[in-house]
């Protein structure tokens, strides 16, 4: 990347958003004076019907904006899309007996995460020029199926950008040129966020680094005396409230959909202003996802986060175990990491380890449904069940199970790629994105408990008349550390040999019990054994329902978990 001639607040060709932030961001340098908030409106405020012109900087939008949403972009994937593919296969049995748990419809998505700051940094004129160059470059390549798909995708993105230019200009915002002031950046970010949502309200995205980006221009304008601190806070208040109101027109209902991500390494004065906005306008609850990737966390910022916790504001805290990528990571609404601008993350289902363990012990038969997942082999003798034979049987069956699970994921990835349409969002990601498959395993904790009980010979078996095991009842609460480590190793080795769609890379997620934080989850602490599941790049998830924010914040930072979601009792 050529960085010659780069100065703060000025973009140059071939400087991407990450470079711009790394080269120009000013880190937190201490407290700023008490903030003044000048916006007044009730929590029923509708962002699409703002006729009061209450915002000083951001142009009010009228009701006709809702007509911009085009039904042709609502291309979602349901079970019927590929039902013929699964009707006479083991994949159907996997679903019937519950070995694979598909995510809720609103969670069953790939996350096409646009780099929203691309528009204010470069302007749409430059984005269109780049896309047209991609099309020319494709003309020099062999015309394969992938070639055709890419060319159509680029043409759609060019058309989407041009339609967006007209949309923004209609509402008084020129997005064709790079922004030169904080006010222009705020307008551009707002318009880009709105249009990205309207393109497909079914699929969420996160607001990654947009306030860090805005901070660069705010501080420059304050330095040049084009803005005062009071006006800077007003600008952040306005943008925060508008983005929060956007959640009201979205058609996905996850707690952390359209969340703001903040990395501890990139905290700045606007981070403080943003938290002030959240506390002042507490009925607009944009979720916050904090990425902890430094050893320090400013006291003033910490105190604001704790205040948000005390008013039950949605908060999650995450840290990456892959330190080399830490500065370029963001989070989806399902709390899964991805590399900003580079990854399309796929999040379709979770594999039930407890169900798999019981089916494996019975030689491939599910007692509950009387289904055979594959040709039934000899089940373990329930009268002589020991740890080594149980673990060996489980490992043998996992080779087949994980292969089929991977095929399920790849099938979904293919259909998602073919039948979803995000031309505007895709214009703001890499032209050659990586596909990141989130391979999830749940009910880890019960399996570790069962294996520990078998290892200590402290269990009771319940079998049916044919001798198949219906239930294993542990008679101990112990958890052997090495069992978790062994289970980790087996799953890692089997997943590692899988081939994913379009040579995609993968991230393994471990859930103690229910996958992906479903609403019926029971909040608890230390459901996973952190040391067992943290010596690789895997994600260990922890749920906390507590009043003592400081205790669990400090404990999490010193632990090996990658994620903690907290709420007040």
Task: Among 122-136, 225-239, 511-525, name the one with the lowest average pLDDT.
Answer: 511-525
Choose between 168 and 326: higher pLDDT.
Answer: 168
**Interatomic CA distance for residues 421 and 75, integer angstroms:** 7
Choose between 209 and 105: higher pLDDT.
Answer: 209
In angstroms, how far is the first alpha carbon of the chain from the final one?
49
- pLDDT tens-digit series, residues 551-566: 767 766 666 666 666 6
CA distance readout (Å), 452 to 459, 490, 509: 9, 16, 22
What's the whole-number mean pLDDT along residues 488-506? Answer: 87
pLDDT at 5 over 60: no
Choose between 224 and 201: higher pLDDT.
Answer: 224
Would the CA dihedral through 300, 301, 303, 308 be positive or negative?
positive
**Interatomic CA distance for residues 155 and 132, integer angstroms:** 8
What's the whole-number mean pLDDT along residues 19-47? Answer: 65
The count of C-alpha atoms lying within 13 angstroms of the C-alpha of 45, restricted to the half-sphere facing its C-beta, is 25
Contacts of 566 (CB under 8 A, 6+ apart): 309, 315, 316, 317, 544, 545, 546, 549, 552
Q: What is the pLDDT of residue 520?
A: 42
What's the whole-number mean pLDDT along residues 415-432? Answer: 80
Render 122-140 in DSSP notation, one character per residue: H-HHHHHHHHHHHHHHHTT
pLDDT at 61 over 50: no
pLDDT at 235 over 80: yes
- Nearest C-alpha neighbor of 433 from the set 338, 539, 291, 509: 338
**Quick one: tokens of 520?**
């019926």
Q: What is the pLDDT of residue 258?
A: 87
**Interatomic CA distance for residues 431 and 497, integer angstroms:** 27
Task: Among 127-131, 271-275, 322-326, 383-387, name the one with the lowest average pLDDT.
Answer: 322-326
Contact yes or no for 274/348 (Cβ under 8 A):
no
The count of C-alpha atoms lying within 13 angstroms of the C-alpha of 21, restricted to the half-sphere facing its C-beta, is 23
**288-291/260-263 β-pairing:** parallel
What's the mean pLDDT when you consider all of the chain?
Answer: 76
Where do the structural domains in the chain lie, given as residue ranges?
Answer: 16-44+103-123+178-341, 124-177, 347-561
Q: What is the pLDDT of residue 106?
A: 42
- pLDDT tens-digit series, residues 104-161: 554 445 577 889 999 999 999 999 998 888 888 888 877 777 777 778 888 889 999 9
pLDDT at 484 over 90: no
Q: What is the pLDDT of residue 274?
A: 94
Strand runs labelled E in 117-276? 207-208, 260-263
What's the whole-number mean pLDDT along residues 48-55? Answer: 45
Q: What is the pLDDT of residue 215?
A: 93
């Amino acid at each position: 990347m050529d960085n010659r001639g780069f100065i703060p607040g000025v973009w140059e060709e071939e400087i991407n958003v990450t470079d711009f932030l790394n080269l120009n961001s000013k880190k937190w340098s201490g407290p700023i004076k008490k903030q003044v908030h000048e916006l007044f409106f009730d929590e029923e405020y509708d962002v699409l019907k703002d006729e009061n012109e209450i915002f000083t900087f951001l142009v009010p939008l009228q009701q006709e904006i809702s007509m911009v949403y085009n039904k042709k972009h609502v291309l979602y994937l349901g079970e019927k899309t590929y039902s013929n593919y699964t009707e006479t296969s083991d994949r159907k049995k996997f679903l019937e007996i519950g070995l694979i748990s598909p995510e809720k419809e609103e969670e069953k998505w790939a996350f096409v995460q646009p780099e929203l700051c691309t528009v204010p940094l470069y302007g749409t004129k430059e984005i269109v020029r780049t896309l047209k160059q991609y099309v020319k470059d494709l003309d020099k390549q062999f015309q394969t199926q992938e070639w055709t798909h890419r060319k159509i995708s680029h043409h759609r993105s060019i058309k989407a950008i041009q339609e967006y230019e007209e949309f923004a200009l209609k509402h008084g915002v020129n997005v064709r040129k790079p922004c030169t002031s904080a006010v222009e950046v705020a307008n551009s970010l707002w318009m880009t966020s709105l249009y990205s949502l309207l393109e497909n309200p079914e699929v969420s995205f996160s607001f990654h680094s947009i306030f860090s980006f805005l901070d660069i221009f705010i501080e420059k304008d304050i330095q040049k005396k084009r803005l005062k601190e009071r006006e800077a806070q007003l600008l952040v208040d306005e943008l925060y409230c508008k983005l929060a109101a956007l959640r009201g027109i979205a058609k996905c209902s996850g707690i952390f959909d359209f969340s703001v991500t903040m990395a501890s390494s990139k905290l700045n004065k606007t981070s403080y202003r943003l938290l002030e906005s959240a506390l002042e306008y507490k009925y607009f609850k944009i979720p916050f996802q904090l990425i902890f990737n430094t050893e320090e966390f400013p006291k003033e910022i910490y105190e604001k986060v704790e205040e948000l916790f005390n008013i039950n504001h949605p908060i999650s805290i995450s840290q990456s175990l892959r330190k080399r990528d830490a500065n370029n990571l963001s989070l989806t609404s399902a709390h899964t990491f991805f590399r900003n601008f580079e990854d399309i993350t796929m999040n379709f289902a979770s594999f039930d380890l407890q169900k798999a363990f019981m089916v494996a012990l019975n030689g491939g038969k599910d007692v509950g449904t009387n289904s055979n997942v594959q040709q039934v082999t000899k089940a373990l003798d329930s009268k002589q069940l020991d740890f080594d034979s149980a673990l060996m049987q489980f490992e043998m069956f996992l080779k087949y199970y994980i292969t089929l699970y991977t095929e399920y994921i790849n099938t979904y990835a293919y259909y998602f790629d073919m039948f979803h349409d995000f031309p505007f969002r895709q214009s703001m990601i890499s032209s050659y994105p990586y596909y990141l498959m989130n391979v999830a395993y749940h009910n880890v904790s019960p399996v570790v408990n069962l294996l520990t009980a078998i290892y200590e010979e402290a269990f009771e078996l319940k079998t049916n008349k044919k001798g198949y095991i219906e239930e294993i009842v542990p008679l101990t609460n112990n958890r052997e550390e090495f069992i978790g480590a062994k289970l980790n190793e087996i799953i890692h080795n089997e997943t590692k040999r899988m081939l994913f769609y379009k040579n995609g890379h993968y991230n393994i997620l471990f859930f103690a019990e229910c996958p992906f934080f479903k609403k019926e989850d029971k909040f608890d602490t230390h459901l996973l054994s952190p040391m067992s599941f943290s010596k690789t790049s895997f994600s260990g998830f922890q749920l906390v329902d507590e009043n003592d924010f400081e205790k669990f914040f400090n404990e999490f930072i010193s632990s090996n978990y990658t994620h903690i979601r907290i709420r007040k009792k």
